[in-house]
Structure 1
Amino acid sequence: MQTHPFLHKIRMFLSYRLFTNLMFILLGIIVFGILYGNVKPKPLDISLYEEAPSTIRAPKPLEDKEATEKKKEEAAAEVEKVYSTKEGAVNNAVMLVSSLIDSVLEVKNESPKQTSPEEEAVNPQSSNINKQLEELKKRLPEGNENIVTKVLTDDVLKTLLSASEVDLERVESIVSTQLQVIMQNNVKEEELKEAKLNLEERIKTFTFTGGLSDAAVALGNVAIEPTEFYDPEKTEQLKKQAVEGVQPVKIIYGEVIVEEGKLITPNIYETLKDFGMVEEDFSLKPIIGLALFIVVIISSLYYLFYTLEVKEERKQNYLILTSIVFVISLLIMKITGLLKQLEINDIAFLFPAAFTGMILRILLNERIAMMMVFIISACASIVFNERFSGSIDIEVAIYTLFSGVAGILTLVSRNQRTNVLRAGIYVAFVNILIIAFLVLLSDVSYTSTEYIYYLVFALISGIGSSILTIGFLPFFETGFGILSSMRLVELSSPNQPLLKKLLTEAPGTYHHSVMVANLAESACEAIGANGLLARVGCYYHDVGKSKRPHFFIENQMHIENPHDRMTPETSKTIIINHASDGADMLRKYKLPKEIIDIAEQHHGTTLLKYFYYKAKEQGKDVTEEEYRYPGPKPQTKETAIINIADSVEAAVRSKNSPTQEEIKQLVASIVKDRLNDGQFNECDISIKELEKVKKSLCETLNGIYHPRIEYPELNAKGE
């Protein structure tokens, strides 16, 4: 990949690391600027108690705080009160009644004198009943005096003191029994009044003498008490658990908040405010969110390029190219998004989502292409949100992601432009499937017109991606000097001007180049190098020989070798110059740098042994440096293999019916000579790889120079 002259000048002033960091910062700023319009809050022009100008739907899921709070209140209200049972309440009540009756009997028994009712009526102050009453009050149970004296009036106590022992025992029995019946069914605090009325009704069903009925009722009212008391702590704990168990009420995505023409009530206005639709104050949240999104994108790209195992200069060129493709994709995305003004639903399906992945797959590699597909999908979910600024569209993200991945995976062969178009058709088919999945999953009814729209959008997106890829390829290939597989295939055509020139003016060299290409391509593929680059490089590596074709032995058919009449110095100059002449011709025809490098480096700094030793034999004082190619030495594996294949093909061709063993020894000798001469010191080819190269070369040469059956000559009659 060539460096653009303008970029090269910038790099003269900046270090590679600083230049790379500035590129990432610039890319982040550009992407932020493009996406900002899609996240910037755009408040609706509505006010409280006005009619809604249009139907407003929820742009994203959000908790309905009012409904959730109401649901919590209802859950808390449904929790029944918790009561704690008072142990021994029934026994306490019965014992209280028994204690009161016992006190009455004790007072009666201790009294020295009894007076008749007639006497009491005549002289109440001096009556014994009053003394008994005073004594009885003193013996009331401790802690219950206030309650007893409040309920058991003096008249009630006098009635009890006046009753016989039998009647008192009967009162005690009836009251105790009825207390047990009522209190065993549990009496709550708020039910005490009702329980007393029930007790009164039960007691009054019995017949008493001397007004004991009212006294028995009063006695029961004193003794009866709640058996269950309200427990506020446990009740509050249950309410808290019920509230915590309430699931938040969600306003689902797309739900109608207010219909067109309906009044904007305070509740609706608050909901719109929660969504940020009527927020009047400037909010930094969308900006911070977008900034974090950009940081994630740039960080991912930084890590991707940091781990890329290529030279620093090429890595930066990759970054620049990736950034340009990224920005172009975003701009196409924004332009497609503007079509929403035509009020066509789901216009995002029209976006050529596979373009980014396909063109980067062709120009760079699959890893970078796949990463950019994920990033473009995330950006599409922001740009194509059709609901409200600040939201994302997951459906668009899924569609863009699968479409982009399909474009990369279906682009199996990158050698012809028709393959790109075929991949676009595959992408269109995947688009149709993804749209069908999204439509059927939503369970929404669509019209036949909408289905036709979706079908057309899917086809345009897929085929449009391939058309854009084919259209942009020449610009990137030329602008960045990128040697893509398609470009290599085009350069391998015999109709190329330089190949035509070589074929017509130096046919022997052309044939030699084709043979070397076969050898080099197989050897490169054996070690994982670029076989197509090696093949095309071989086609052009000796194009400089077309300048003086007859000075090279493969073109000397039925003519005298001109070198026999020339000095070694002159011959050496002509032979060595074919490498630089070829490079100059390739530059003139603006061929890629990789092809030019192969032409310059395919001989490295090897020694022209024949003319060097010829000069030595003539007694001339010469050095090896004078008879060496100027280089540079091979810088890549492909050039190193071409260096070997070029010499091997010429050496084997010079032999008459070489055997497999001769070929093997010849190949090994040439590789050893190159290693000893240090020709591979500047490229990263390993000894292990060279062994594979030797094996591949031998296999290919054995296939070319295998023994053939000699057929008998035919006579004139064909016999």
Structure 2
Amino acid sequence: MKIRSLLDITIFRVLLFVLLGFILYFAMYSNVKPEKLNLSLFTIAEQTVRSPITVEDKESTEKKRVEAEDQVKDVYIMKKEITENRVDLITSIFDSASEVNSEVKKSMEEKNKEVTEIEAEGSNPPVISEPSVSEKVQMMKEKLTEDIVKEVPDPVFHALISANKEDLSITKDLTITAINNVMSKEIPANQVENAKKRVEEELKYTSLNGNLKSAAIDLGRYAVIQNQFYDLIATQELREQAKESVEPVKILQGQIIVEENQLISREVYRQLELVGLLDNEKSVLPFVGLVLIIGIILTTLYYYFYELDARRELKQNFLLLYSLIFLLSVVIMKGISLIQQFEYSEVGYLFPAAMGAMLIKLLINERLAVLFTIIMAVCGSIIFNEGLTGAFNFNVGIYIIASGLAGILFLSKQNQRTKILQAGMFVTVVNLMVIISLILIKNGQYSPLDYTFYMVTAIISGITSAVLTIGLLPFFEAGFGILSTMRLIELSNPNHPLLRKILTEAPGTYHHSVMVANLAESACEAIGANGLLARVGCYYHDIGKTKRPQFFIENQINIENPHDRLPPQTSKNIIIAHATDGAEMLRKYKMPKEIVDIAEQHHGTTLLKYFYHKALQNVPDINEKEYRYPGPKAQTKETAIIGIADSVEAAVRSLNNPKPEQIDGLVRNIIADRLQDGQLNECDLTLKELETVGNTLCETLKGIFHSRIEYPEMTKQKVKQA
């Protein structure tokens, strides 16, 4: 009790969260602490070393890219326009010879015509002679460029200029065809001479005469040149593509860097340095990261509890209870993780992940249970990291989330204690499905023994969660006075000794209690209060009437009212005593405090008007306080609503065939009377909520006391009775 009251002070709440933080830190300290390894260059590794993180090996990546770039061959392209240009050049040489011959022939014809005209006049004509071959060659050279004249030997020009038109045309066609055949293929710089020889071979076996054949060969060799050239831009593009296609080389988390008894070479040493396994004793970053993640977890929890809409005492209870379940789960988790030291992998699947989630769901609420599951998943992914310092076991994290949510989901509408074991079976099925899905996603090779191990761990986790929940639930309920939904449902069982006592000893009171329960539950749910608590509280609120059942009107069936023979003081004492007697009886049976409070407070300090006015007739100056219940007044919404519903049900039941207007008037008057009498001053019911409560009570009562159809037989009987 002292601890709970201390939690109402901010500094002590903060200290509690700091304590939780320290415990979490030390639980996960060894899982993030960099491993101390004796690793030196050119020594033998004493143990197999795995990478604690996934990191890119940039040096190896660059080497691979250089290798990929070197494997790309130079790109060469064949320029077809060169072939066309060389063919045009050779064609122009042949055309130049044809043009010279044509010009000479035309010139000779004109001169002969002039000679004929002179002879006809009787004069002596000049002597006409055809230009020599050398002169024709000179004329041909003038039509060509200096480069051609220099590179093409004179015998070629002599042969072409000396050939007749037909031979020249044949030579031209054969030469151009041979050039096209050879230059249609790629001719790199080092193959030019071979290409020239191919042209020569092709023209050597033609039917041309000796001079023309030699000329054609010379022109063919002259025409053939390099047509394949290095393409720098295309080569660079291919090399860039090859470099970009190389995937970054990564050292994966868990990857073996050096095996036991293996020499630590320079490459291995570089990789060890890259993953941070050298000089790691000075690294504080993992610890900073751990503090940050613990800070996020605890800040989230603190904010949630700070904003939690609950009474101060209840909030303290919830915080302390949550902390204990949280610490218990972390201790169990850490204990199971120690098995990893014996080379047992995946032991995290043994953790009863649904235990804490189900306990918090049953004892506090569903939202906190979901938050608890997420936090446990984060802690589990670190604690069950299989000895890989700083790593995260996301498989276990997913497993814990699925297992915890499965337990919460199953118990969402199943609050009986007997359903917890069924929830454990449901969790087991979900565990198996999650493990199988993770195995299939990994696409690894597993033996039948591995599958058996996984199945056994899933079953143990699910069943253990249920067993621990069943075992721990009564201790938490008793130790913290928690009135859980499951406990309320158990108390509503008609076979409970106290309910059977009411039913057998005061049946009228039992019926009245059930009616009040229906009214109070609907009204509480309408304003967001605990309807189930109100219903169960109604069942027990008049348990004190079982001491003297015949003194209460609902139990006076076919008997005379004993209060008619008693003085008002005595009647008052008997009626008022049922509240205190009921509270005493409930305490004797160790009933929850909330139920005891309802029995004790549902009448508050209201006035017993009937007996007070009866007493006034005898003693005019009597003190009104003597005819009021001792209280206390209602402290909660549920108790206040039960008090209103109790009065409303009794008042409406006293009416004969109540009409809707009468019901509305009664309900409004009773609520107004409670307000004016100050009975609602100590609970947090608002006027708006009171309006909702009034409307709900009217609707429920109208449904209970609705008018019924009068059948013909009933009408006849009434006529006869009249």
User: Aligned equivalents of 2:382 and 2:486: distance in 1?
Assistant: 34
Determine whether 1:675 maps to 2:699. Answer: no
Determine whether 1:526 maps to 2:519. Answer: no
Check 1:190–1:627 CA distance in 2 against 1; reply closer, same or farther (3 A cut): farther
Greater mean alpha carbon deviation, residues 19-28 or residues 210-219: 210-219
Matches within 5 A, 1:250-261: 260-261=260-261
The secondary structure found in structure 1 opposite 2:418 is helix
CA RMSD between the two structures: 5.4
Check 1:380–1:106 CA distance in 2 against 1; reply closer, same or farther (3 A cut): same
Check 1:185–1:206 CA distance in 2 against 1; reply closer, same or farther (3 A cut): same
Aligned match of 1:616: 616
User: Aligned equivalents of 2:437 and 2:27: distance in 1?
Assistant: 30
Check 1:404–1:164 CA distance in 2 against 1; reply closer, same or farther (3 A cut): closer
Aligned match of 2:691: 687
Structure 2 unpaired stretches of 5+: 104-136, 715-722
CA contact (8 A) 1:674 1:680 kept: no
Matches within 5 A, 1:127-138: none
Which of the residues 148, 162, 181 maps onto 1:166?
162
User: Aligned equivalents of 1:518 and 1:567: distance in 2?
Assistant: 29
CA contact (8 A) 1:522 1:697 kept: no
The secondary structure found in structure 2 opposite 1:229 is strand
Shift of residue 576 of structure 1? 4.8
Q: Which amino acid aligns with 1:683?
A: L
Which of the residues 32, 54, 64 maps onto 1:39?
32
User: Aligned equivalents of 2:200 and 2:426: distance in 1?
Assistant: 92
Shift of residue 227 of structure 1? 2.8
CA contact (8 A) 2:520 2:535 kept: no
User: Aligned equivalents of 2:16 and 2:706: distance in 1?
Assistant: 52
Shift of residue 359 of structure 1? 0.3
Aligned match of 2:2: 5
CA contact (8 A) 1:507 1:555 kept: no
User: Aligned equivalents of 2:383 and 2:705: distance in 1?
Assistant: 58
Aligned match of 2:357: 357
Check 1:282–1:555 CA distance in 2 against 1; reply closer, same or farther (3 A cut): same
CA contact (8 A) 1:380 1:396 kept: yes
The secondary structure found in structure 1 opposite 2:229 is strand
Structure 1 unpaired stretches of 5+: 110-132, 711-719
Aligned match of 1:338: 338
CA contact (8 A) 1:644 1:671 kept: no
Report the identity percentage. 43
CA contact (8 A) 2:86 2:224 kept: yes
Shift of residue 333 of structure 1? 0.8
Check 1:263–1:319 CA distance in 2 against 1; reply closer, same or farther (3 A cut): same
Shift of residue 472 of structure 1? 2.5
User: Aligned equivalents of 1:140 and 1:288: distance in 2?
Assistant: 87
Check 1:669–1:546 CA distance in 2 against 1; reply closer, same or farther (3 A cut): same
Greater mean alpha carbon deviation, residues 205-214 or residues 265-274: 205-214
Determine whether 1:661 maps to 2:665. Answer: no
CA contact (8 A) 1:189 1:228 kept: yes
Check 1:624–1:205 CA distance in 2 against 1; reply closer, same or farther (3 A cut): farther
User: Aligned equivalents of 1:212 and 1:313: distance in 2?
Assistant: 122
Aligned match of 2:595: 595
Shift of residue 407 of structure 1? 1.5
User: Aligned equivalents of 1:58 and 1:214: distance in 2?
Assistant: 77
Greater mean alpha carbon deviation, residues 232-241 or residues 643-652: 643-652
User: Aligned equivalents of 2:382 and 2:281: distance in 1?
Assistant: 23
CA contact (8 A) 2:48 2:256 kept: yes
Shift of residue 356 of structure 1? 1.5
The CA deviation string for residues 414-469 of structure 1, in whole angstroms up to 9 with x for no partner, is 65433323322332343334334444555555555544443432332122112221
User: Aligned equivalents of 2:242 and 2:259: distance in 1?
Assistant: 34
User: Aligned equivalents of 1:375 and 1:432: distance in 2?
Assistant: 22
Matches within 5 A, 1:55-134: 69=62, 72-73=65-66, 75-77=68-70, 79=72, 81-83=74-76, 86=79, 88-94=81-87
Aligned match of 2:370: 370
Q: Which amino acid aligns with 2:514?
A: N
User: Aligned equivalents of 1:88 and 1:559: distance in 2?
Assistant: 131
Shift of residue 354 of structure 1? 0.8
The secondary structure found in structure 1 opposite 2:353 is coil
Matches within 5 A, 1:78-477: 79=72, 81-83=74-76, 86=79, 88-94=81-87, 141=145, 165-166=161-162, 178-189=178-189, 191-192=191-192, 194-196=194-196, 198-199=198-199, 224-248=224-248, 260-277=260-277, 280=280, 282-283=282-283, 285-287=285-287, 289-291=289-291, 293-294=293-294, 297-298=297-298, 301=301, 308-311=308-311, 314-315=314-315, 317-386=317-386, 388-411=388-411, 416-439=416-439, 442=442, 444=444, 446-447=446-447, 449-477=449-477
Check 1:211–1:282 CA distance in 2 against 1; reply closer, same or farther (3 A cut): farther
CA contact (8 A) 2:350 2:460 kept: yes
Shift of residue 395 of structure 1? 2.6
Give the TM-score, by structure 1 length. Answer: 0.73
User: Aligned equivalents of 1:26 and 1:134: distance in 2?
Assistant: 112
CA contact (8 A) 1:189 1:230 kept: no
User: Aligned equivalents of 2:297 and 2:418: distance in 1?
Assistant: 33
User: Aligned equivalents of 2:362 and 2:90: distance in 1?
Assistant: 103
CA contact (8 A) 1:423 1:466 kept: yes
The CA deviation string for residues 26-74 of structure 1, in whole angstroms up to 9 with x for no partner, is 6555434433432333255444445555556666766565775565456
User: Aligned equivalents of 1:650 and 1:164: distance in 2?
Assistant: 139
Greater mean alpha carbon deviation, residues 401-410 or residues 662-671: 662-671
The secondary structure found in structure 2 opposite 1:417 is coil
